Amino acid sequence: MALRAVARVNLAAIERNVAAMRSRLAAGVGLCAVVKADGYGHGAAPVARAALAGGANRLAVATAAEAVALRAAGVMAPVLVMGALSGDELADVLEAGAEVTAWTPEFIAALERAAPRQPLGVHVKLDSGMGRLGTRREREALEVAARVAAADASLRLAGAMTHFASAGEDPEFVNVQLARFEPFVERLRARWGRVVAHAANSAATLTEPRSHFDFVRCGIAIYGCDPMNVNPADWGLEPALELGSYVAAVKPAEPGDTVGYGRTFTAAEATTIATVPIGYGDGVRRALSNNCDVLVGETRYPLVGTVSMDNITLDLGRPTDVVVGDPVTLIGGAHGQRITAEDLARRIGTISYEVVCGISDRVPRLYHRDGAPA
């Protein structure tokens, strides 16, 4: 009861997940651990160290600030910033010694003006079908690569990349994207030698070996979530995060009594209501109101009433042996009773990524290795 809400992160599980993903790769293919969004809500620096210990040989983030934070935490492995960067952020990238993603000549000119003290690694991005960052025009991507290659003193052509739009849902479109990306890589290599290529996310790493190239970029899978949003165990993955709280109050409810904001739950018969001090301010989505189960000990109970900022309520029935102080698990579990991030995601029509990334900063992360303090 010392902590009203806590996320426990098993770093040993992250190591094993990285090793499991690496076991799917051919010899010589590397693994880049994606630790953006504070390690998908798990904590970027501890996750990065665990991923590297598990066999990752590089890291990726989305922003310059995320790269700087890794360096400040003492994580010195190669880091790729995959997101868009403004001119004001280039100094941070240079400070962090990170590599960057580029797709326009104008951005290359900005990099040159930043005057890096040593060659800055640049990964040229072809938009093969995601429709967001990157250029759709192969000619422009080749021009960008040529400008990088020509700037020997300040820039280095470090890689060619693309991003799959639907590797977990539409394998045919993966083939379409590969048919656009592979010729681009071949043309780069014909002109500048062996250029590192990378494309695969977690889903493609699991399902399409042809997409692995020189290294894969694994995000959600290293945290033990299923990129197909079904069941991590299907892929030999272990969820690394458990989200818990405790029973703060237990009170009887009579037929007709209501619970919570908006009175969205009315007791149909005599029952018992438990209040648990965790809510949407901690990342428990309001859409889970009257729409999920949680574990008290090893027993499932329905969440009833509206999820509020700081509390949820459970219907325990009557009689009940639940008492104040009993542990509550919202994600996690054992002994055949487990609630996964995918379970919660399906309840509200989203994906496990959003569930774990949405756990707020006011929930402390406690790190362990199979139960032993990390």
Q: What 3-state class would DSSP assign to 158?
A: strand
pLDDT in tens, 142-187: 999 999 999 978 999 999 999 999 999 999 999 999 999 999 999 9
Task: Provide DSSP, 84-118.
Answer: ---GGGHHHHHHHT-EEEE--HHHHHHHHHT--SS
pLDDT in tens, 10-54: 999 999 999 999 999 999 999 999 999 999 999 999 999 999 999
pLDDT in tens, 190-230: 999 999 999 999 999 999 999 999 999 999 999 999 999 99
Tell me which of 251, 261, 280, 353 is the catalytic residue.
261
pLDDT in tens, 56-113: 999 999 999 999 999 999 999 999 999 999 999 999 999 999 999 999 999 999 999 9
Contact 58/76 with Cβ under 8 angstroms?
A: no
Tell me which of 36, 246, 280, 301 is the catalytic residue.
36
Q: Is 36 a catalytic residue?
A: yes
d(CA 370, CA 374): 9
Relative to beta strand 215-218, strand 30-34 is parallel
CATH numbers and ranges of domains, the chain = 11-226 (3.20.20.10), 241-339 (2.40.37.10)
Quick one: pLDDT at residue 299? 95
